[in-house]
């Protein structure tokens, strides 16, 4: 396949491979000839489109023609503009599809004392403030030699926050740090404080709920003579506590999977994102849960999510999710639709609607059961929406902190980053999968070559079960573990 018309009502097709000027495109009984070279992932007009008329892709408007466009023309940022407005009013017109239950499956994970399931048995070092980042990393280096038994790694998750913050900004940091300390992929946690910071250990304890002192240790650096030596001793105690724990069969209904895309291209909404959407439906059919985030990349496709909300209350929460994030842009005097990125545009994405309609393909067809605020953990099984920006590191961290065991990350251009949980990279095209084998875990590009969406979604589901059972993803093999908190307010 060299090109594809995604929906019967589309007036553009997408080049799956680069097309030369003068190439004939035949779809059904209609043919056009390209008027210029068309890069892979970019759009070609299938008919004449007048200035001001809708450009249709995915069966939906992705923008307006800035000028007259002839059949066979390259359709991109030079001749298409966004049609989106600012704050909008929405009506709840439900179109809900119930996902049929399918046979149970399982993975081999770690059962925690509180009943939660984890897919890793790691020791995490969580600084309460950026002032002790170097101490955290020094303890990590010393403690890695102590790893034994079922303990898989010792990881320090450094960040620049925890002090000199105010109001909701400080509150967000405290919620995220508490989520991190309570995360079920961590068999043991060392909470490392300085002693004089705003988000100090006594304050954080109020956010943690019941504390298992065999699993969570606290160290205030200003109160000990040698904080590194003391930290290593505490890590050794944590390792001794969990080294003999074993993986056991756990039903896949307990899995929570985050879904994110970045470095997208024109194939993201054709291959990788629809495959992840089909995966989401499969997991939900087995009682599991998925979380979709990056709210600014829902703009322009939000009504497709709203009509799938399980009830009016969930619909109203989704409306607030969208409009509150638009107000975040406006309150900072920023353009709401400052998207897509230069890399997205180079890959063939022309407008935010174009990007969003591809992005939301990851949600599959299941109903939306809940909307989570930033730092809030999942409560309702099924498809959840999460408030977070589109930034890759911030959004992937937010997914993990809402309870995701694993993050699925689709990309058309590639990225090596990770998150606090296994971050499984899915290439939209085979060229990327072959060129960056050290980054990519799964090739969705085969969907336009030799495998169907259903086959690839089932392959992805099997791979996720393997990762949940201990198989390392490429970023883990490389030793990458990133952590980023959403900065929203004044720094003192």
pLDDT value for 339: 67
Q: What is the dihedral of CA 402, 405, 411, 413, to 10 degrees?
A: 100
pLDDT for 273 beyond 80: yes
Are 237 and 88 spatial neighbours (Cβ–Cβ below 8 Å)? Answer: no
pTM: 0.94
Please identify which residue in the block is written with the tokens 């303890």.
Answer: 139
β-bridge partners, 60? 57
Q: Which pLDDT tens digit goes with each residue over 339-357?
A: 678 888 888 999 989 999 9
pLDDT for 84 beyond 90: no
Distances (CA, A) of 331 to 96, 169, 327, 334, 386: 34, 15, 6, 8, 21
Q: Which pLDDT tens digit goes with each residue over 20-58?
A: 999 999 999 889 999 999 999 999 999 999 999 999 999
pLDDT value for 228: 98
* Cα-based angle 208, 379, 102 (whole degrees, multiple of 5): 140
Q: How confident is the model at residue 86 (pLDDT cuts 50, 70, 90)?
A: confident
Helix, coil or strand: residue 164: coil
Q: What are phi and psi of 331, to 5 degrees?
A: -65, -20
Which distant-in-sequence residues (6+ apart) come within 8 Å of 109 by Cβ?
117, 118, 119, 247, 248, 250, 254, 405, 468, 469
Domains of the chain, first to last: 3-81 (2.30.130.110), 122-244 (3.40.50), 251-478 (no CATH)
Q: Per-residue b/e over 257-289, b at no fewer than 16 CB within 10 Å? A: bbbbbbbbbbbbbbbbbbbbbbbbbbbbebbbb
Distances (CA, A) of 103 to 22, 252, 492: 51, 10, 54
pLDDT for 85 beyond 80: no
Token pair of 115 as six digits? 């009943």
Q: Which pLDDT tens digit goes with each residue over 186-230?
A: 999 999 999 999 999 999 999 999 999 999 999 999 999 999 999
Are 130 and 160 spatial neighbours (Cβ–Cβ below 8 Å)? Answer: yes
Q: Which pLDDT tens digit goes with each residue over 124-164?
A: 999 999 999 999 999 999 999 999 999 999 999 999 999 99
pLDDT value for 87: 76
Least confident of 184-193, 214-223, 263-272, 453-462: 263-272
pLDDT value for 258: 98
Average per-residue pLDDT in the chain? 95
Token pair of 333 as six digits? 């005097």
pLDDT value for 338: 64
Of 266 and 197, which is predicted with more confidence? 197
């Amino acid at each position: 396949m060299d090109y594809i018309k995604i929906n019967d009502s589309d007036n553009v097709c997408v080049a799956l491979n680069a097309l030369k000027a003068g190439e004939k495109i035949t779809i059904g009984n209609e043919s056009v000839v390209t008027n210029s070279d068309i890069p892979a992932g970019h759009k070609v007009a299938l008919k004449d489109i007048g200035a001001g008329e809708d450009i249709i892709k995915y069966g939906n408007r992705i923008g307006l023609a800035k000028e007259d466009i002839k059949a066979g023309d390259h359709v991109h940022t030079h001749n298409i503009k966004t049609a989106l407005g600012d704050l909008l009013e929405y009506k709840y017109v439900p179109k809900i599809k119930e996902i049929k239950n399918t046979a149970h499956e399982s993975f081999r994970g770690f059962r925690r004392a509180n009943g939660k399931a984890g897919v890793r048995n790691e020791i995490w070092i969580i600084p309460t403030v950026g002032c002790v980042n170097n101490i955290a990393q020094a303890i990590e280096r010393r403690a890695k030699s102590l790893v034994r038994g079922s303990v898989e790694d010792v990881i320090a998750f450094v960040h620049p926050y925890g002090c000199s913050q105010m109001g909701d900004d400080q509150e967000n940091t405290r919620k995220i740090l508490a989520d991190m300390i309570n995360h079920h992929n961590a068999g043991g946690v060392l909470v490392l404080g300085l002693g004089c910071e705003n988000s100090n250990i006594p304050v954080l304890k109020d956010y943690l709920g019941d504390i298992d002192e065999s699993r969570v240790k606290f160290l205030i650096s200003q109160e000990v003579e040698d904080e590194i030596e003391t930290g290593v001793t505490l890590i050794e105690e944590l390792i001794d506590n969990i080294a003999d724990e074993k993986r056991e069969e756990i039903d896949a209904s307990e899995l929570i999977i985050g879904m994110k895309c970045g470095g997208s291209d024109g194939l993201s909404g054709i291959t990788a994102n629809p495959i992840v959407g089909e995966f989401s439906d499969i997991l939900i059919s087995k009682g599991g849960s998925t979380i979709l985030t990056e709210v600014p990349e829902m703009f322009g496709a939000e009504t497709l999510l709203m009509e799938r909300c399980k009830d009016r209350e969930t619909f109203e929460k989704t409306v607030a999710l969208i409009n509150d994030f638009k107000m975040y842009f406006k309150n900072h005097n920023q353009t709401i639709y400052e998207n897509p990125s230069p890399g997205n545009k180079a890959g063939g994405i022309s407008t935010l609607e174009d990007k969003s309609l591809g992005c939301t393909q990851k949600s599959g067809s299941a109903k939306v059961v809940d909307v989570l605020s930033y730092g809030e953990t999942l409560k309702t099984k099924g498809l959840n929406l999460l408030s977070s920006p589109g930034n890759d590191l911030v959004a992937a961290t937010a997914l993990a902190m809402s309870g995701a065991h694993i993050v699925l990350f689709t990309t058309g251009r590639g990225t090596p980053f990770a998150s606090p949980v296994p971050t499984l990279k899915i290439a939209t095209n085979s060229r990327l999968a072959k060129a960056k084998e050290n980054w990519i875990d799964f090739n969705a590009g085969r969907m336009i070559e030799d495998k169907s969406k259903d086959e690839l979604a089932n392959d992805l589901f099997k791979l996720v079960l393997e990762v949940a059972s201990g198989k390392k993803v490429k970023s883990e093999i490389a030793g990458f573990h990133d952590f980023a908190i959403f900065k929203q307010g004044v720094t003192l």
